[in-house]
Amino acid sequence: MEKSIFAYQSEPTEYIKSGDSGAIEALIPERFLQRQEPDLPQATEQDVIRHFSRLAGLNYSVDTGFYPLGSCTMKYNPKINEAVADLPGLAGVHPYQDEKSIQGVLELAYGLEQFLLAVSGFQGLTLQPAAGAHGEITGILLIKAYHRLASKKEKRRIILVPDTAHGTNPATAALAGYEVRQVKSDEAGDIDLADLKQNLSPEVAALMLTNPNTLGLFEKNILQVSKMVHEAGALLYGDGANFNALLGLVKPADLGFDVMHFNLHKTFSTPHGGGGPGAGAVGVVEKLIPFLPVPLVKKKGEKFYFDYKVKHSIGKVRSFYGNFLIAVRAYAYFLALGEEGIKKVGRQSILNANYLLRKLKDVYEWPYRRSCMHEFVITPKTGWQVNTLDIAKRIIDYGYHPPTIYFPLIVHEAMMIEPTETETKNTLDEFSAALLSIAQEAQTTPELLKKAPVNSPVGRLDEARAARQLILKYEKAR
Amino acid sequence: MEYIGNTEADNKQMLTEIGVSSASELWSDIPQDKIVTQPLGLPAGLSELELRKHLRNLSDRNVNVEDYACFLGAGAYDHYIPSTVPVITKRPEFYTAYTPYQPEISQGTLQSIFEYQSLICNLTGLDVANASLYDGATALYEAAHLACDHTQRRKIIVSRALHPEYRQVLKTYFSDAGIDIEEIGCAQGTTDLGELRQKINDQVAAVLVQQPNFFGCLEEVEELATLVHEHKALFIVDVYPVSLGLLKRPGNYAADIVVGEGQSLGLPVSFGGPYLGIFSCRKELMRKMPGRVVGETVDNQGRRAYVLTLQTREQHIRREKASSNICSNEALCALAACVHLSSLGARGLKAAATASVIGAHRLADGLKDLPGWRLNFTAPFFNEFVATAPVEADDLNKQLLKHKIIGGLNLGRLYPELPQSVLFCVTEKRGPEEIENLLNILREIKQ
Ligand SMILES: Cc1ncc(COP(=O)(O)O)c(C=O)c1O
């Protein structure tokens, strides 16, 4: 148990000279001023560094070990990307500086857009969204604006979402004011064409589809799906969270997607930061360009500039231009890999996942018996006296981060494993050996799993108590 | 340069074990005619040395706040960042972790977010804070959305003295969603109370103001709060967190939801992002709050520990009924804010705020005595203020750049009613000699 930052009782280090605080009363009327200082920590620099360094030591991370968290693409985060993101001419640029004084920044943003267009086949792009879900709402607002302009009287008020979809998809559609209808998956793990057909109507605005889907399977009827969606007058939204499988292999626009968000923090190697910041660029086909958020980055001759004259722009989805320093890292990643390197990403991620699947598929339950893409879903065998949570916690004892668990929702006790292309065969061998050993334990000594983890800074948590007591901030009195 | 560790031989062996003769068999589900065969058109890969040089060149082509004296604010502030902040946020255990879904091996992230939430509550004076949202603008939207949901009313009132981009974000999100947005004008740089009195009624879900507002002026928040609450609407205040080293906590004047852009707490200006959306509210609104929240509990041995909680509001559980669609947030930026506030302490935060206020008033005092210049407003201000220049603001800024100064914001573009006006900002990083220097240069710039 690490002590709280509020528990320190020392004199804070002075970073900024206090100056003449008596002068304030002459400048700001008393009614605006606080009578009592806010309760902030009382810690010296040494206290602060020790406190947060100790906290760091309680975390598991990509830099400390294998992190096969499905759908999250926990690939290695190259260190050069971190270094260049600190350059003063990037980190130190104010968003409202004059265009002439930010030509390098604009060139970088423009360059990243070109790279993303090249690998996706789209024609237009915005870097404004701050994450995947933010890209989703941006894309759905684009679709809404498109339909609104296309027909005043037609009311397209429904968005279709497969039952394998990530929670952000239905949440996004609802947020944009749509009714959400769920489409079933078939036995092979693809979207059920008959159910899709049933649900398509002139009231449908879009289908939100993840491909590969969250079972790690390529939607093999994708061309048929996109044809059906388009014939119904709807648009096809792509959730690009799983784009890593396709990178360099196939372009989403060629599959019929009209708009797709990229998770730069997944596919393009930018770190996840313990939950963010990410970045969620959105690519679109030609006919959606007039609706993109402002401003767009344009080039005229050798000069880069912001274009605010976007005819039917939806406006802005956040302040300024998005998570620029994340874009810097993604741009550096593209430049490092280049044409040849990018072409290997999807292929290697698929190979690594299938290799790991091969090692595990006979020992664990393997519900969808097809080659996977960059990730796959397995479950405990029926008859084992343990559940997926127990297995996940035991994986911690073996020194790894557990996979994504209990998602997708259509698979009972799902474990979704994504190794990524940066892991070596050796790591995959070691990890599979651990999972095989855990499978053995599940049958011979299940209590080992039930008690797990024991090799972690804390044991299993009382989550029910957290939700019941709701202590959401530090209280001195306790 | 690639980050793939396997050799050709490894890959061959893996294929053999899988039992396929070629890797392409693994992706036979992909329509074969859609597989990319033409070049993508990307450049050839660079070495790390080449990459660094290339980025260095791009970086060198931008004016930046390290080499220039910055008097530009308007939602992005050049405050001093203690050296502790990057030391901690660059620890790979923090920045290369994912969302703390497995609490047993994520206590570092979880405790730091819990401490961040505590610090935000202590700054705003409200009961609860979430683990962060994308930025100030989306935090404001989420607050308005919550207010409509909570009150079951479909109209919000926004002050025109609130950041223009934030208002634009509100319009984008609420377009065609059956929510009316009404704007209230300003008088002497602050929200026009008379106009608000006329426009507010029992259909209004919330009134949104910024403190200090976009012009740097201080809103009469207590009067506003009283008026808003007379109509049982929610009072939503967008704050500049550094100002809370000096100004009254919004909880003390009965704000219901407090949001803000947290960039000023330890994040560089970064050409606009990543930033930090601060969100805090009264306890009664907690179960409708957007985004992740960390709570305290114990582990199976009774040790204090932290975990994501109140998750039944969130998209992964509630799907289309979630309070928001947010998933990834700005956790590392919240960590930066946490380390920043922990390093400065109350005294340091107050010192930054005080020096900023004093510097801004020094500049304003000097400006109003310069020929052709005048201050637009009489309302008390914090560390930003509006002045009308004797020349076009863009021309002025062009001249200033030659002197290695980043001038204030040209306001005329955003507020046509304020032609030739400039929004100046001063932080503690601007010493008296830099302010003096700016005044001397401005004195020389003629119509
Ligand atoms: C399939 C899928 N869609 C959407 C998202 C949301 O992305 P973000 O967390 O960047 O908002 C995720 C992230 O986990 C995902 O896995």
Q: Are residues B369 and B283 in the same domain?
A: no
Task: State the first-to-last Cα distance of chain B, in angstroms, to the nearest integer.
Answer: 55
Give dist(CA A394, CA A385) in Å, integer: 14
Q: What is the pLDDT of residue A19?
A: 75
User: Which one-letter DSSP state was computed for residue A264?
Assistant: H
- Residue B232 DSSP label: T
> With contact defined as beta carbons under 8 Å apart, do A418 and A70 qualify?
yes
Residues B176 and B260 in one domain: yes
Tens-place pLDDT, residues A245-278: 999 999 999 999 999 999 999 999 999 999 999 9
Q: Which two tokens stand for residue A291?
A: 């609706």
| CB neighbour list of residue B261: distance below 8 Å, 6 or more residues apart | A319, B75, B76, B135, B136, B137, B139, B238, B240, B241, B275, B276, B277, B278
In a domain, B3, yes or no: no
Nearest-Cα distance to chain B for A244, in Å, is 13
Residue B431 belongs to a domain = yes
> Which residue in this structure is represented by tokens 């941006």?
A138
- Domain end marker among B341, B376, B400: B341
* B18 domain-assigned: no
Mean pLDDT of B28-40: 97
Q: Which of B24, B46, B248 shows the shortest CA–CA distance to A347?
A: B24
At residue A396, the pLDDT reads: 98
B272 and B371 assigned to the same domain: no
Q: Give the pLDDT confidence score for residue A369 in this predicted structure.
A: 96
Strand B374-375 and strand B384-388: pairing? antiparallel
- Do B310 and B181 belong to one domain? yes
Q: How much is the mean pLDDT over chain B?
A: 97
Q: What is the DSSP string of A422-442?
A: TS-HHHHHHHHHHHHHHHHHH
A79-336: CATH class: alpha beta
Residue B45 lies in a domain: no
Query: Which atom, in ligand 1's list, is nearest to the CA of A265?
Result: 10
In a domain, B218, yes or no: yes
Give the closest residue to A257 by CA, choosing from A269, A243, A270.
A243
Residue B204 CA to ligand 1 centre (angstroms): 34
Select from B350, B85, B126 the least CA-distant residue to B251: B126
Give percent of chain A above pLDDT 70.
Answer: 99
ipTM over cut 0.85: yes
Q: How many domains does chain B have?
A: 2
Same domain, yes or no: B409 and B434 = yes
> Considering B284, B315, B341, which residue would you say is the last residue of a domain?
B341
Q: Which of B304, B384, B323, B295 is nearest to B117 (CA)?
A: B295
B220 lies in some domain = yes
pLDDT at B446 over 80: no
Which residue's alpha carbon is at the smallest distance from atom 7 of ligand 1? A132
> Are B153 and B203 a contacting pair, CB within 8 Å?
yes
Last-in-domain residue among B299, B319, B341: B341
B339 pLDDT exceeds 90?
yes
CA B316–ligand 1 middle distance (angstroms)? 10
Out of A6, A57, A343, the one facing B108 most closely (by C-beta) is: A57
On whether both B259 and B371 belong to a single domain, the answer is no
Say if B417 falls within a structural domain.
yes
Same domain, B160 and B305: yes
Sign of the CA dihedral with A88 first, then A92, A95, and A100 last? negative
Q: What is the CATH number of the domain that holds B200?
A: 3.40.640.10
Instruction: Name the average pLDDT for chain A.
Output: 97
Architecture of the A340-467 domain: Alpha-Beta Complex (3.90)
List where CATH 3.40.640.10 sits in chain A.
79-336
The torsion defined by the Cα of B102, B104, B105 and B107, in degrees rounded to 10, comes to 100
| B353 shares its domain with B335 | no
Residue located via tokens 């196939």: A250
Residue B136 shares a structural domain with residue B206: yes
B299 and B373: one domain?
A: no
| Closest by Cα among A6, A2, A4 to A41 | A6
Look at residue A477 in the predicted model and tell me its pLDDT.
58
Q: Span B303-310, mean pLDDT?
A: 96
Nearest CA owner, ligand 1 atom 8: A132
Domain that residue B147 falls in? 84-341
The reported pLDDT for the residue numbered B107 is: 98
CA-to-CA distance for B262 and B338, rounded, in angstroms? 10
Q: How confident is the model at residue A178 (pLDDT cuts 50, 70, 90)?
A: very high
Distance CA B160, CA B195 (A): 12
Domain shared by B299 and B425, yes or no: no
Q: What pLDDT score was predicted for residue B447?
A: 59
Answer yes or no: is pLDDT of B115 > 90.
yes
> Which residue in A has a C-alpha nearest to residue B395's C-alpha?
A98
Contact map slice: B 106-165 vs A, CB within 8 A: 106-109, 111-115, 117-119, 121-123, 128-129, 131-132, 134-138, 163, 165
pLDDT digit string, tens, across residues A42-80? 999 999 999 999 999 999 999 999 999 999 999 999 999
> Residues lining ligand 1, judged by CB closer than 6 Å?
A 71-72, 131-133, 166, 168, 210, 214, 239, 241, 263, 278, 280; B 327-328
Shared-domain flag, residues B317 and B171: yes
Tell me which DSSP letter residue A298 carries.
E
Closest partner residue to A48 among B36, B84, B307, by Cβ? B84
Pairing label, strands A179-183, A158-162: parallel
What sign does the dihedral B130-B133-B136-B139 (CA atoms) show? negative
Nearest by CB to A319, from B57, B169, B176: name it: B169
- The C-alpha atoms of residue B200 and residue B207 are separated, in whole angstroms, by 9
CA atoms within 13 A on the CB side of B191: 34
Tell me what pLDDT residue A21 has.
Answer: 76
The torsion angles phi and psi of B181, rounded to 5 degrees, stand at -115, 120
CATH number at residue B399: 3.90.1150.10
pLDDT-based confidence at B53, cuts 50/70/90?
very high
For residue A88, give how far its alpha carbon lies from the nearest alpha carbon of chain B (Å): 7
